[in-house]
Structure 1
Amino acid sequence: MPPADVREQRDEVRAKPLLIDAHVHVWTSDPRYPFAAGANVPRDVDASAERLLQLMAANGVSRTVLIQVIHYKWDNSYLADVLKRYPQHFHGVARVNPTDPAAPDHLSQLTAQGFRGVRLSPTEGAEGDWINGPLMPPLWSRCDQLKVPMTLLAPATRLPDITRLIDRYPDLTVVIDHMADTPLDEPQQLQSLLELARYPKVYVKISHLWSLSKQVYPFADSFVMLKKVYDAFGAQRLIWGTDHPVCLPHVSYGQAVALYRDYLDFMPAADREEIWHGTVQRVWQFGI
C-alpha cells in the first residue's frame, strides 16, 4: 500500500474535477494587433493569454475554448497566434463577416490555421436580419462540410430564425451562447430555447447567470431557468463558461469557475462531470 502522504495526494487529485472553460475572450494592446475602429476596449483589464493561463492554473481549469472578441471585428490574428503558441491549452472559435459573400472561404482558411468553429452574432434589430439572408446557407453549409461547430450569440427573439437554419442543416453541431440571454421574466422566450432540445445536435452554454440574475452571487434566481434548460437538454448538451474577462464587473474569474464547480449540486455527480468537461470535449474535441 502506498504511504499515507501519497494516498492523500492521490485523493486530492481525484477530488479536483477536470474543468474545461468553454467561453473566454483574449486580447492585447500590442500594436501588432490593432483593434477595430470604434472598439470599446477596457484599458484596465489584462486580457492576455498569459494572464489567462495564470488564472487557469490557480483555479484548476485544464483547457479553454477561446472565442474571438469583437474588439478585433473580423481580424482573428491575435487569437490565431495564441493558438499557435499554446495548442496544449486552447482551442479557438473565429469570427467572420456574415455579410461578406467570401465568408465561407474565410472560414475554411481559419480552420486550416487551427480554428475549431465560427461564431455569429445576429442582433435583435434590423441590423441582424442578415441571419435570414441568402449568405447564410453557403456559410452554414461550409461549417457542415468542415465539421466544425456553429456558435451563435443571439437574443431569444432570434431563435425562430436560427431554427429555420437548424432545420436545413440537422447534422451540424450548433451551440447557443448564454442560454440566448433569455430574461428570467419572459417564459415565452425561454420556451423558444427549450424547444430547440428536439434537435440532438444543438447544445447550450449555461453562462451569463450574472447577467440574467437580479440577485447577488451565486445568483440563485437564475438557477430556476438553468434547471429548466437542464431538464430539457440534459447534461450531455450543456456547457459552462466563465465569459472572462467580460464577467469581471460582476464576478471574478475564480467566482465564475466556482459557480459551476460548486453550485450544481442539484445534479447527480455524473451530470456535473458532463458539464465540467464531457460535453465540451465532444463539441471541441480536446481529446483528454
Structure 2
Amino acid sequence: MKRTHLPLNALRVFDAAARHLSFTRAADELAVTPAAVGQQIRALEDVLGVVLFRRTSKGLELTPEGEAGLDPLREGFLRFEESVAAMQAGQASDRYTIATPREFYAEWLAPRLAKFQSETTRDSGGVQYILAPDEHADFTEANLDLAIRLVDGPGDLQGVQLAPALRVTVAAPEHRDAWIDWPGMPLPQGVNPCIKAGSPGQALASALAGMGRTILPLALAESAIARGSLIALTEPEPAIRSYWLLAPAPQWRSKKVRALVSYLAP
C-alpha cells in the first residue's frame, strides 16, 4: 500500500504551537524563530486545506479542524517514540555477539571483556557476551556484532588493529629442542618440525606442554610470557599478520559497538 507523504516537521511544529498556543514559545522549544514557526504552520495549512489557528483578542486559539487532529497526532508521535525505542532495543546495548579465535579469547580478550563489563555496568545487570563457535562466521548468518581475526588487514570490512604486527619465538621453560609448525607462520629454512599444528592455538598449547618451540603473534604469547608459562627465545620482530577487530561498515554506527571498540583499541 502506498503511503501518503507526511510533512512530519510541520506536524511537529503544529504540536508545539498547539501546546503553547504561542508561536514564540513554540519557537523557543524548537530552537527556531517565531517567523519559521509561522511559515511551517502556513505551509501545513496549505497542504491540508484547512485553517489550524486563529487570532483572537485573547491570543492564539485552535480552530475546530486543528482540535480534531491534535489527539491522533500526539498519539502518533508517541508511537514514533515507541518505534525508535524498539529499534534501539533490538541493538541491545548489554549484549555482544563476537567471533574470535579460542586461544586469543583465552589469552587476550577475556580479561579485557571482564574489565569492560565491570567498569561499564556497575549499576546494571551486566553485559552478555555470545561467542560464535567459528571465528570466520558470516556476519549476517551469525548476527555478529564484531569479529577478531588474525589477518594482514581489514579487507572488505572496516576494522582496527588490536596489537602491533609482531611475532616472537617462544617455548616452555623446560622444553624439547624441537620445532612446532602451524600454517601462516613459516619456520626458519631447513627446520623440520616435530609437530605440524593446524592453528596458532594448537601451536600455543603444544609449546605450553613443553613439546618444543614455535613462533607466535606477540599478542597471543605475551600473557603466557608475563606469567612465566613461556619464555621468549627471541626479541619481537615484524610480522605480516596481526589481530584485527572487524565488522561491516554499518556496524560501526552502533553505539554499543563504538563503545567496545574504543575500549579495546590501543
TM-score (norm 2): 0.24
Point out the structure with max Rg over C-alpha: 2
TM-score (norm 1): 0.23
